[in-house]
């Protein structure tokens, strides 16, 4: 079964510097029908104008993943780590017992567009931790690339939960398949472009909750379509 979460049905936060779309309940947006999916708790589709961003704020007991689509995102945190996240980078921050951080547009002239993803960890009270890796376009062009996993396999970032996160950038008419174990479910998030999932058309911002399916067939309608696939526990 595939349940579509259309982009235009998502919650939203609109500020003079931020356009944020919420696939699941977040902040002042609350919908009991959309509180998350398996251990996936938040997918925020954020656009921030030049020179602005999220000032220092705190988190606890959450795996936070930042995935930049366009522009540059500057990160600083209370672990004395800082970096600029660019397209192709995946950053994972384990909030654990508590961490503060800021996320600012690194450019004074161009906007930044990124996804922020929260995953509920399998263990509470972890020591705060941070990891960032780059995944070349050639490794994810027209193929699945594992970018996050429980054990950090294949050079992916380590996520403290039973989840595997894949990304793929697709040329028009490219087709990919994915085999899903009987005891698993999945979420597909379309980051950009247009695709078809098992006959269901999806566009940028759309999500798809997948359960009780053994095989996924994904084809790109537009060039440079980009998707994220979460393989999750039942």
Which segments are annotated as binding site? 57, 59, 101, 103
Q: How is residue 90 written in tokens?
A: 């995946």
CA distance 176 to 225: 12
Q: How far is residue 139's CA from residue 19's CA, in Å, rounded to a whole number?
A: 30
CA 23 – CA 7 distance, rounded (Å)? 8
Q: Tell me the sheet residues that pair with 134.
A: 89
**Which amino acids are annotated as binding site for Fe cation, given as ranges?**
57, 59, 101, 103
Q: How far apart are CA 122 and CA 163, in angstroms?
A: 10
- Phi/psi of residue 186, nearest 5 degrees: -150, 160
SS3 9: helix
């Amino acid at each position: 079964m595939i349940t579509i979460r259309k982009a235009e049905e998502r919650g939203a936060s609109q500020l003079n510097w931020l356009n944020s779309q919420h696939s699941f309940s977040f902040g002042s947006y609350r919908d009991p029908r959309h509180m998350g999916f398996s251990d996936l708790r938040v997918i925020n589709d954020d656009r921030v104008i030049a020179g602005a961003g999220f000032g220092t704020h705190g988190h606890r007991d959450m795996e936070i993943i930042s995935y930049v689509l366009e522009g540059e995102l500057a990160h600083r945190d209370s672990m004395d780590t800082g970096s600029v996240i660019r397209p192709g980078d995946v950053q994972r921050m384990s909030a654990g017992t508590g961490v503060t951080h800021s996320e600012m547009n690194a450019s004074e002239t161009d906007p930044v567009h990124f996804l922020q993803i929260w995953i509920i960890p399998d263990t509470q009270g972890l020591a705060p931790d941070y990891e960032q890796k780059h995944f070349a376009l050639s490794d994810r062009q027209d193929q699945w690339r594992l970018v996050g996993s429980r054990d950090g396999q294949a050079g992916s970032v380590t996520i403290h939960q039973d989840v595997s996160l894949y990304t793929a950038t697709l040329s028009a008419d490219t087709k990919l398949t994915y085999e899903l174990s009987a005891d698993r479910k999945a979420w597909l998030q379309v980051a950009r472009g247009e695709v078809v999932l098992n006959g269901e058309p999806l566009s940028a911002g759309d999500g798809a909750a997948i359960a009780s399916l053994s095989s996924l067939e994904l084809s790109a309608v537009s060039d440079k379509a980009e998707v994220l696939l979460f393989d999750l526990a039942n």
